[in-house]
Structure 1
Amino acid sequence: MKKVLIITLMLCLSATAFAEIRLGALFAVTGPTSFLGNPEKLTVEMLVDQINDAGGINGEKIKLFVYDTQGREDRAISYFKRLATKDRVLAVLGPSRTGCALAIKNLAIRYKVPFIACAASATIVEPANAFIYKTPQSDIHVAEKLFDHLKSKGKTNVALISAQSGYGATGRDAVLQNAERFGINIIADEKFMDTDKEMTAQLSKIKDKNVDAVICWAAGAAPAIVARNAKALGMNNIYMTQGIASRKFIELAGDAAEGVKLTAGRLIVADKLDDTDRFKTMLMKYKTDYESKFGGSVSVFGGHAYDAFGLFAAAVAKSGKDPVKLANELQQIKGFMGTAGEFNMSNSDHTGLSKDSFIIAEIKNGEFVPAE
């Protein structure tokens, strides 16, 4: 009888220990892309605290496991395996970079652990798989939004300068493959390495072709160098992507940031939106919560994590702690209002956004504002 009581007690303690929702996260918290991963980590930690303080999901608290990839693919692979096998998480948020997300795709499928990436490339979710999702708008949406804007301004002769990285390469493909159908002529196509410290040679070639505008497709410190080099050459009409949608770019580029336009979610101009904008209340709550807790400015990169966590929470509330059911719930989400836009997932679309989720922003007097 005593032995039965001991076994029963052990089973009860075991059940109690796992009466929680185990969630993993892989972010580039330190290293050269910490401007992506650190706000993502802080955002998810804040949201987990908020939801746990409110009683959790279906009465269960979330236990969060966060690992720092430093933006490295080998670390993303190693930590994903740890999350899946040792930590036994239900799902993983992140990684921060496209290369890291691509590196763990097959692992997510093998271990049947869904992940919601905070990286942008469409190749992450193509072809669609029930265990793989992402929250940033895809390259094609960026290209389409840029082309629409350029065409409306009569700027049809355009140059492209892109980073030789996962993000830059897939962005370059999106531009080159879709420009013609929008009536945009790509008359220069230059590249640089993410680690390059000078892009004057490439920009000088572009300047000689007398283009209407320049699209720079890159993230990290490199776009700030492009902006400074372009300013030194007297070049205007520089367009970039959400890869620069944080104050870090403005700090790095200095006065060369002035006048740069970019595709971005509404978050970076949340306080400048009209009060009738249906996203404003949600965006301002996130912005206020984040900035009051951590100081500094909210960024779209933290917003990607905000959306990833929101999608996870919405799906797990219906699926319970079954990863296969969770994966199926994720691809059925409709009308989810996130910082990047309205998410409408399907079996074939695991981003669920369109070009309409973007705005064109401009940097004026050191601030992001909606472009005219």
Structure 2
Amino acid sequence: MPAFRRFYAAASAWTGRVAVATVAVILALVTPGTVRPAVAELRIGAVVSATGPAEYLGDPEKRTLEIYVEALNAAGGVGGEPIRLMLHDDGGDPETARRLAARLIADDKVSVVIGGTTTATSLAMVPVIEAAQVPFVSLAGAAQIVEPVRKWVFKTPHTDRMACEKIFADLVRRRLTTIAIVSGTDAFGRAMRDQCVKLAPAMGITIAHEETYGPADTDVTAQLAAVKRKSGLKAVVVAGHGQGPAIVTRAYRQVGVGLPLYQSHGVASKQFIALAGPAAEGVRLPAAALLVADKLPDGDPQKPVLRAYADTFRQKTGQPVSAFGGHAYDGLMLVVEAARRAGSVEPARLRDEIERTRGHIGTGGVVTMSPTDHTGLDLSALRLLEIRKGDWVLISEQGS
């Protein structure tokens, strides 16, 4: 049976209806004539935080990888060879992530590793990756994962520095330039705080007060009360991911700080809204366009890909889409397209082809990698959103 007919039959049974853009993406990976035969199955190792404090980031990543590897294999894999996914849960523990990465490379002989739900778990895996010379596509946000550039390390999410820049630009537009930062003491919280502090002077932002919270903190009212007492503040920025920012948001409303509140792209999930409850109303954040796919103009080049992924994820899981599952989708497709172009699953050739990615339309934006840029996204890939009545609203960046 021709590849396109195999894919159509598999897709019909798979979701009942798969958006045209998804068909186009996967057909491009399996259609004869466009693919040089791979020499063996593509063995992909994955380490995500499907349980633990980062579960609401890692669980959609896990589900996405499983859904799309199944679909690709039903359509003939890559060049007629299967994709083998070896997926592990690190529970959010960096040492477990490091050990699992080492096992995938030494025992399972994977050609590439996708994962690192958090900055901490990603950074724990990096030395293992570099020593083994196997390409790694991180799903975490900190710029320090890829800056300075590491030969074997790439990432799909927007960086923490990009998030600071997007937030600060909106603060300047709204003339809210004297702020407090409340940051988590985890690796991502510290990294984003540092990026914001470095960037603030150049953008005309004054950071007049700072507070921190720990990953296990369940009561942060004292920190928010201190923010409320500080005179002259115009807004508050929270640097964190996982459940912590929701706890901060609830305390923020409980204490009655009464200032505009910004979160990072580390909360880009409906689960954050559920955890924060009514306190999330009015919160602004930078996030991938995936969260507002249906609200984008029809001419937006990302819209077909975003709607296809969102429809598929909802149909297969019964859950709302999150930016974090999108990061996993982007990582998988970058790897699969690299294998297609290389006609090989040899790690060095995969690495080179990932770095040669040009104009790839993913859920996070249009990706163009280079030897000096292993994220491949510019600031236009982040959209400014506000939470209203339990949903995401796209904010115009021409005004306030």
Q: Into which bin does the TM-score normalised by the smaller protein fall?
A: over 0.9
Note the C-alpha offset of 1:263: 0.7
Q: Determine the structure 2 residue equivalent to 1:253.
A: 276
Q: Determine the structure 2 residue equivalent to 1:217.
A: 239
- Equivalent pairs counted in the alignment come to 355
Deviation string 1:194-242 (CA, Å, 9 cap, x unpaired) is: 1111222222222222311100011111111111111122223000011
C-alpha distance in 2, partners of 1:61/1:237? 50
Mind listing any 5+ residue stretches in structure 1 that lack a counterpart?
Answer: 1-17
* Paired residues of 1:130 and 1:328 also in contact (CA < 8 A): no
Q: Given the alignment of the two structures, is residue 277 of structure 1 paired with residue 300 of structure 2, yes or no? A: yes
Q: How does 1:139-178 map to 2 (within 5 A)?
A: 139-178=160-199
Q: Determine the structure 1 residue equivalent to 2:28.
A: none
C-alpha distance in 1, partners of 2:232/2:269? 30
Q: Determine the structure 2 residue equivalent to 1:8.
A: none
Note the C-alpha offset of 1:95: 1.3
Matching residue within 46, 50, 57 for 2:78? 57
C-alpha distance in 2, partners of 1:233/1:109? 46
Q: How does 1:13-28 map to 2 (within 5 A)?
A: 19-28=40-49
Q: Determine the structure 2 residue equivalent to 1:360.
A: 384
Instruction: Please state whether the residue corresponding to 2:319 is helix, strand or coil.
Output: coil
Identical aligned pairs, as a percentage?
A: 39
Q: Given the alignment of the two structures, is residue 326 of structure 1 paired with residue 347 of structure 2, yes or no? A: no
**TM-score normalised by L of structure 2:** 0.87
Q: How does 1:68-107 map to 2 (within 5 A)?
A: 68-107=89-128
**TM-score normalised by L of structure 1:** 0.93
C-alpha distance in 2, partners of 1:34/1:225? 16
Q: Given the alignment of the two structures, is residue 187 of structure 1 paired with residue 211 of structure 2, yes or no? A: no
C-alpha distance in 2, partners of 1:243/1:19? 37
Note the C-alpha offset of 1:130: 2.1
Deviation string 1:288-343 (CA, Å, 9 cap, x unpaired) is: 01100110101000011011011111111122111011111111111111111111
Instruction: Please state whether the residue corresponding to 2:130 is helix, strand or coil.
Output: helix
Q: Determine the structure 1 residue equivalent to 2:29.
A: none
Note the C-alpha offset of 1:255: 0.5
Note the C-alpha offset of 1:147: 1.0
* Paired residues of 2:181 and 2:210 also in contact (CA < 8 A): yes
2:244 partner amino acid:
A
C-alpha distance in 1, partners of 2:147/2:172? 28
* Paired residues of 1:142 and 1:241 also in contact (CA < 8 A): yes
C-alpha distance in 2, partners of 1:19/1:102? 30
C-alpha distance in 1, partners of 2:284/2:62? 27
Q: Determine the structure 2 residue equivalent to 1:36.
A: 57
C-alpha distance in 2, partners of 1:102/1:45? 24
Q: Given the alignment of the two structures, is residue 311 of structure 1 paired with residue 334 of structure 2, yes or no? A: yes
C-alpha distance in 1, partners of 2:374/2:193? 21
Note the C-alpha offset of 1:118: 0.4
Matching residue within 228, 239, 263 for 1:207? 228
C-alpha distance in 2, partners of 1:38/1:139? 21
Q: How does 1:131-142 map to 2 (within 5 A)?
A: 131-142=152-163
C-alpha distance in 2, partners of 1:252/1:241? 16
* Paired residues of 2:40 and 2:345 also in contact (CA < 8 A): no
Larger Rg computed on CA atoms: 1
Note the C-alpha offset of 1:19: 3.5
Matching residue within 305, 317, 333 for 1:294? 317
C-alpha distance in 1, partners of 2:361/2:305? 8
RMSD, matched Cα: 1.2
